[in-house]
Structure 1
Amino acid sequence: MKPHDIGTLPGSVLYAHIPSAAGKELAFYPVYLGHYMCDTSYCVDRRTFDCFMLMYITHGTGYVETEGRRRTLQEGDIVVLDCYAPHRYAATGDGWEIEWIHFDGPMARHYYELAAKNGCVLRMAGHYAATHSLRKLLTLYKDRVPAPELRLSKYITDLLTDVILCAEESRGQAQQSAVVEESIRYISDHLDRDISVELLARQAMLSPFYFSRLFKRETGFTPHRYLVMVRLDYSRYLLRSSPLTVKEVAFRCGFNSESHFCTCFRQQLGMTPQEYRDEQ
């Protein structure tokens, strides 16, 4: 059906579903779903609406307000809302295009709480699997394909499960990046100390094997290779700007001997530390 919401543009579609008594006993059932193109006059402001909502911003920008807090929205974001509580969302900028579903069911609140445990806005750009089931639902209604209510429940289950898993994956990647960043800070702050992969892994509470794989995935270098590179970079700075002897530079940068320092320096730069200093 054609939506009548203020701000919806031609081409927008709205579908309604009236569940049977048996359908309401399933884990999930759809209430409304749609695909909207909107200008900046589009705004929804409700005290309550008896269901939950998942909205995917396919293009454009907007915002959502819940619990007195406003969050900006951009292309690729997914919003999960408890519409039983006051909420407001609107298009901004040049408007937006959204795909969305209102749903409910015995498992709706539990899945909503899993999806929104770290906030109702999920940054999902690039996680296309998370919206695949929503597109399947919209296509069913667009093509007027009869579907058993059990299948509709399955699609919503798949949709919410994919969103939750993709959100967990994104949070896990952010946490892993934070682990590597902390190790890099430690290396920079303690260059003159004996730093081993085992020490860094222990601080990150990871096995040396897993830590090394994670570090290389994030930086492109093994921890040992990165450590040597940073030490050599600092040694070049000291050779250029300080009166320290080559031996003093070696120990200041964490090398355990002058000969080891000179070997690493030559391998990296094709000359000895003294030759490098003389060229400056």
Structure 2
Amino acid sequence: MQSRNLFQSDFCEIKRWAINLTQQEGGSKGYNDCFCLVFVHSGRFAVELATQPYELYTGHVVVEKADYAYKLRPSTGVCSIFNFSASFYEQFIEEYGLRHSSFFVNPNLLTLSLTTSPAIDYLHHQIVHNLGQVGKLEVDCLVVKLVRLVVERVENRPLAELATPMVKSFHLETIEQAKMYLNSQFNQDISLVDLASHCCVSPFHLSRLFKECTGYSPHQYLVAVRLTHAEQLLRQPTLTVADVCYASGFNSPEHFAAAFQQKNHLSPTQYRKQ
């Protein structure tokens, strides 16, 4: 089995497993010590999770709670694994009101295999195929959204929204702090946890509240600020497009050009010439 780390943030680690276990090898044992989500990319997996046998293939996600032994049976395939910190797990249990969930509070239920939805498949694809090309905040926001969709699948219901007019009014200061932080630190690789810690709220709460109050996700707002700054810098003839890209907080000229084109319907070079 080959394991490769793809991404590490304050609350999430993403790995890629490539498995090719033969009958002669007889399988492989391990121990899961954290809440995680497992998505199958290709192939077919035969596994025992907490003594529960599973046959997994594309279109499946496995939701796993912490502290149980597993065994990989002879099989071949590739999967991605999202491991989450204990504090993140506690926060989303609290934030999404899962203290009475039939799965999350039952100590005898440690794993659950679900079929994915097109929305889940899309978000998973966007995350794993854009790692290294986009910033931490975008990945973090997508991961939080992915977790929400999977949990809704587990619970078989939409998760409640808390951002009523009263809640919005009460948390206006939080949104003001978040916007000030994004406007002053836009050229840094900000994570969702960085932003939430600055505002003294949980990442889940901030992500939902920010969207409800501004109409943008934190990442969408950050990109808009970066693009506005880039437009100003492009008026300075001494700066190259690459200089503008990095000075505005983008970590890839290709990603910068695509985002700029989407907003302005012009490339950065065309915008500069007009």
TM-score, structure 1 as length reference: 0.42
The structure with more radius of gyration: 1
TM-score, structure 2 as length reference: 0.43
